[in-house]
Structure 1
């Protein structure tokens, strides 16, 4: 039966989703392009190829939801940058680890960190992204006084074990062979590279003391962003260096680098570690970071610098913020009230969970996306190896919202985005789902055509829809 609230009159009907919500323009026009779902830290830092939504810091922050993990990351960075600029050690941890599943927001957080360091004045309202207002104000003031953060970005999938050069558009960039040679150049230019040239050419990692001397050659704080490290170590394991390998040498360098963050604010390392196909290497790096953090914590008695970019209970808010320009709170509240009234007034027709206070909270928190949609995307599809969680959910839902608004005259009684709005009649949705299920030994394309949707309207579900409506029932897409 329908779970759409109905009343004998019209004055108490909740507003439709079209009355309460306004999608963002690129969603409304169907122009939220494929490349905008693939955030690339390397493209943002090293080329002009990144879409504006990532490359333009003002636009990036405007369309970014401030998750608790992102706020934590940027607050720690702002604190350390100001401390280094004022030469007043804050006692905070300089090793910040983004530990997350595939598609869990790590690259997005790295891009946010890069923009905070490179373009602090471009953030529309720092207080939205930095937890402490005093720190936000102090960072803004310090940036206005000339704070200049040196940045280095090393993305393991952007380089390879034989060639660590990240930016081929830079005519002065040396042909670096190692992570340490490339980082030295990005941070301090040719002078920095010359300081570590011998280490780079021989692929011998510099120790902590030499790295500290490198950082002391410049008065400004440094931020080092390392992404996809497991993929790089996979390649580096095949490069022999005497009795060792480049992977082992890189691990040694990372230990020295992370040690150089202790007892000072001069350098901060943000390292992302995801559960990818390189599981063994990811676990090795986790152990390395944890060992260094434990050593630091035993001295400073500080908490571990591990951050989860996006918690499970924040995914709905992230999706809503990116897909919708505005969502009216009074429309949301009226809709939730009407649905809960329907459930409690007809308890026999709905499961017990529908009348629980927790269900009301979920309807409110996920609006205008129905909680069952969030559950399916984050619990069911998330089990597929190629599904990139928040990014994958955003891709499918953007098409659902586009389709819903394109046909809104047919759906005036709609109050939520539902699972059936991700319809296989949309070529982008169908191709995405087929790719997701490609690892399953079944012909899903044939199943879709036979049972759900076909161009000639002969799929079983389409036949049932016609029979259902012919007999006086509401169309299934209103249910």
Structure 2
């Protein structure tokens, strides 16, 4: 390494607590309880607000969180600019406790915290939002309920005084041990009004911090074995979450890991309590995270070192690497092959990562952080703290130290480094951890750096030009292979093990004397089956684009292998399996068409469902919704319900869309809680599937047999779980023909029933009178469901109504059932089919009934003495009741979307005829030409209105106003469903822009053809 550049271990000063602990940083897992209650030697350094601010990097999300709290409790009348309840729900090691301690210091010692860089950024952020913070934040009262240090029903007198329940402990802290106030409010554990009064009684802003609440309400309450205490504690939490938002200058911070990220085993009762509280937090609180992967480098440097490095040292260090990074051979064979995106912005990356190499930081951010169980911030700090300490000790001993700590520079000879890696969560199985511990010492380097296969190669190498500058080349290569192996059998982003170019990159140094050829030699010796790593497994390469991969085999059992793979499975992979199985097991039964709506998480559920093309004419559909984006129940159904309402034409405002055939679509939707169970089983199934395909399993008959058997079992369990998860169906209902239509639901409580089975769904809908079951629909059922205004409809309109009008049940046999019922009714003389002239049409077979006909209509059969025409008995409706031949009818209100939607007014066709506009009576009170009618007309519930007009609108305003009033009255009558039939022709001369932009689209939506010409 060039002597002109100050090495990082001299340019940076490691924090004293790390030096004192020989790199084994103890307080990386901060404790809110210790920060609040710690005394003497039990009081950690971060209990001091200024020290906390000194070691805390002000990430954008942490600043946002503390700003919200500061504004809410201390910004006077501006408190409404911030939320009242925040929930920290990220997994382990994500900085939740660190954030709670920051919030505590902010309220308990605002002067101190606001004087730090973190506090100054909080004040600046508040100011940018129009809120000014007083330096004392109006002297808040802080109530800390560290639930991970509380035993339900077993108070600690030092902290809880006379309190027993969670509510009482809350009061004791709120009133600062004022027994009189405590006793006044003690009885009212679920009284929202009294709890609000208690919060106001302190006459100060209040910050409530509830840390790890699940530790208390979960199995903790089970252990107390006191149902009364459980009821009181849950009642208090429900009331408190509702009250906090109503009392000015009160903020609440709650820590409860999201269900998907929390693997804690809970009893049934504890699970119910968690679900209950989860729903309350989803309703009242805003979820927040305080760290992102991009914050890693800044957090690490602030936590490990007590000052920033000099800019000139960082720049000079970065410049050392430029010749190697731009070398053609290295570029072609290594940098381009590993996708080293950081090389293009090298200077900025080094400045952000120093003293760590961007390749190492990329490994931590993009691979380690994605492994389930790895505690992102906490584990990384432990590993890197032990590494910088061990490397600094080497520097002090005049040993070689890398210019930047890369992915091959984590010294496995140091027990603190090795145990930090193995205990980080990258490896979960204890036996596997033990195996990797042995591999590190046997294959790479032992504790005194004298042995290990890789170390021996470095020690026994003949002196070369680059030996002094890279004395641990083989050890560095083997260390990288070790890291790539412990991440998992399958790395989340790069396949199995470490690729040959990656291993070469891990050996690189900022010296052109060490060439790619040298790196090739080092790696070749390391992977040589006779002289290299004995536990190494090699996956042969395939050309330049698919290089060889290396990994260390621990000869895992099948269970260990599955466990290792399971942690690398992404949510996307898992949900894709659920979707695949749901499509596979869905059966239509009596439904004519299956549909599956795939998730698209880049769009809202409403956008996905509305754009899925589900509105199919004259077809019953079973629509299965992808569980990745749609679910019902457990407080997470709002977005799905909004989407379903929009897709069925029942939305409000902008989401109110014209939908014609929603009545004949039934939606199968997964249950939120059961989906979580299915997701776990999907991960198990995927892990077993990948394990069975692994080379070591395929090469071992016993492992292969075990894998095959367990995969089959996992598939069976997943199949049952998915079928059980699809517990809900949703559909448009209108039990009262004159009532409003709405989105109805049915839930299968029997685990043997599933919404994926069309036959089961149809049976359930038959019980709800949404459908006719097989054999139930005949002539009597048809006549029973016809209303007066249905007589006179064309056959095509009648057919459409059974698919679009939710008042009419769906038919098991579809069109065939309707044809048979109409035929039977006509044969029995209870119904007639007439042509445009009103002449009865003879029908000799069900198949002859053309349900697509717009010229044939249904009519009541006439009585022996026709009350309308006075003629002798005749079959079918009399001709005087009919409009001109070929003219259809319109019945308002039969479309399936919005009421009288523009897309389909009444679900029928209207043709123009004559030169007058007319509105008339429905069958049974039939209008006669010119308003004439016999006695039947006098008692009719409806009247025919016919009129003609020709008027010059330019001659004055009176005519325009009169016609405006006329058409307004017609609009109201249509809107209130008081017009059952319309026929006519309107000729108007109108402004060209209105004709093209306003009228033309509306006429097109109605299916009307207009003649438009220039004047």
TM-score normalised per structure 1: 0.82
Is it true that 1:128 corresponds to 2:121 in the alignment?
yes
Change (3 A) 1:315 1:51: farther
The alpha-carbon deviation at position 61 of structure 1 amounts to 0.9
Aligned equivalent of 2:169: 182
Change (3 A) 1:380 1:154: same
User: SS of the residue aligned with 2:139?
Assistant: coil
Aligned partner of 2:68 among 64, 76, 88: 76
CA contact (8 A) 2:93 2:375 kept: yes
Is it true that 1:157 corresponds to 2:145 in the alignment?
no
Aligned partner of 2:235 among 249, 252, 266: 252
Aligned equivalent of 1:311: 292
Shifted more, 383-392 versus 277-286: the winner is: 277-286
User: SS of the residue aligned with 2:308?
Assistant: strand
Larger Rg: 2
Aligned partner of 1:206 among 157, 179, 190: 190
Aligned equivalent of 2:385: 398
| C-alpha distance in 1 between matches for 2:78 and 2:123 | 20
| C-alpha distance in 1 between matches for 2:48 and 2:354 | 29
Shifted more, 117-126 versus 359-368: the winner is: 359-368
State the Cα deviation string for residues 284-310 of structure 1 (Å, max 9, x = none): 5333211124xxxxxxxxxxx332111
Alignment of 1:197-346 (within 5 A): 197-199=186-188, 205-234=189-218, 235-237=220-222, 239=224, 246=230, 249-274=232-257, 275-278=261-264, 284-293=276-285, 305-324=286-305, 325-346=307-328
Change (3 A) 1:31 1:15: closer
| C-alpha distance in 1 between matches for 2:462 and 2:281 | 61
Is it true that 1:46 corresponds to 2:40 in the alignment?
no
Shifted more, 427-436 versus 260-269: the winner is: 427-436
Aligned equivalent of 2:639: none
| C-alpha distance in 1 between matches for 2:436 and 2:55 | 35
Aligned residues: 443
Change (3 A) 1:441 1:208: same
User: SS of the residue aligned with 1:468?
Assistant: coil
User: SS of the residue aligned with 2:233?
Assistant: helix
The alpha-carbon deviation at position 184 of structure 1 amounts to 0.8
State the Cα deviation string for residues 313-344 of structure 1 (Å, max 9, x = none): 11111001111222122322333344345322
Aligned equivalent of 1:58: 50
State the Cα deviation string for residues 75-110 of structure 1 (Å, max 9, x = none): 112212223xx4664342110112212010010010
Change (3 A) 1:88 1:132: closer
CA contact (8 A) 1:450 1:460 kept: yes
Aligned equivalent of 1:96: 86
Change (3 A) 1:230 1:378: farther
User: SS of the residue aligned with 1:416?
Assistant: coil
Aligned equivalent of 1:108: 98
The alpha-carbon deviation at position 66 of structure 1 amounts to 0.7
Shifted more, 177-186 versus 126-135: the winner is: 126-135
Change (3 A) 1:240 1:194: same
| C-alpha distance in 2 between matches for 1:31 and 1:459 | 24
Change (3 A) 1:130 1:272: farther
| C-alpha distance in 2 between matches for 1:78 and 1:35 | 30
Change (3 A) 1:164 1:378: farther
Aligned equivalent of 2:375: 388
RMSD: 3.1
| C-alpha distance in 2 between matches for 1:252 and 1:371 | 51
User: SS of the residue aligned with 1:22?
Assistant: coil
User: SS of the residue aligned with 1:270?
Assistant: strand
The alpha-carbon deviation at position 194 of structure 1 amounts to 1.4
Aligned equivalent of 1:475: 471
CA contact (8 A) 1:70 1:129 kept: no
Change (3 A) 1:266 1:331: same
Aligned equivalent of 2:649: none
RCO comparison, higher one (Cα < 8 Å, 6+): 1
Aligned equivalent of 2:340: 354
Is it true that 1:16 corresponds to 2:7 in the alignment?
yes
Runs (4 or more) in structure 1 with deviation over 6 Å come to: none
State the Cα deviation string for residues 323-369 of structure 1 (Å, max 9, x = none): 12221223223333443453223322432233653566544322222
| C-alpha distance in 2 between matches for 1:420 and 1:345 | 21
The alpha-carbon deviation at position 29 of structure 1 amounts to 5.1
User: SS of the residue aligned with 2:58?
Assistant: coil
User: SS of the residue aligned with 2:412?
Assistant: coil
Aligned partner of 1:191 among 180, 183, 188: 180
Change (3 A) 1:141 1:161: closer
Change (3 A) 1:362 1:270: same
Is it true that 1:445 corresponds to 2:426 in the alignment?
no
State the Cα deviation string for residues 421-459 of structure 1 (Å, max 9, x = none): 432322222333444445154322322221122246231
User: SS of the residue aligned with 1:223?
Assistant: strand
Change (3 A) 1:99 1:19: same
Aligned equivalent of 2:351: 364
| C-alpha distance in 1 between matches for 2:112 and 2:279 | 36
Change (3 A) 1:413 1:43: closer
Change (3 A) 1:379 1:69: same
| C-alpha distance in 1 between matches for 2:278 and 2:463 | 60
| C-alpha distance in 1 between matches for 2:361 and 2:65 | 25
Is it true that 1:417 corresponds to 2:429 in the alignment?
no
Is it true that 1:428 corresponds to 2:424 in the alignment?
no
Aligned partner of 1:117 among 80, 89, 107: 107
Change (3 A) 1:29 1:420: farther
User: SS of the residue aligned with 1:224?
Assistant: strand
The alpha-carbon deviation at position 252 of structure 1 amounts to 3.2
The alpha-carbon deviation at position 71 of structure 1 amounts to 0.6
The alpha-carbon deviation at position 25 of structure 1 amounts to 3.2
Alignment of 1:167-178 (within 5 A): 168-170=157-159, 173-178=160-165
Question: Which consecutive unaligned segments of at least 5 residues does structure 1 have?
Answer: 5-9, 200-204, 294-304
Aligned equivalent of 2:456: 463
Aligned equivalent of 1:202: none
Change (3 A) 1:249 1:344: farther
CA contact (8 A) 1:231 1:278 kept: no
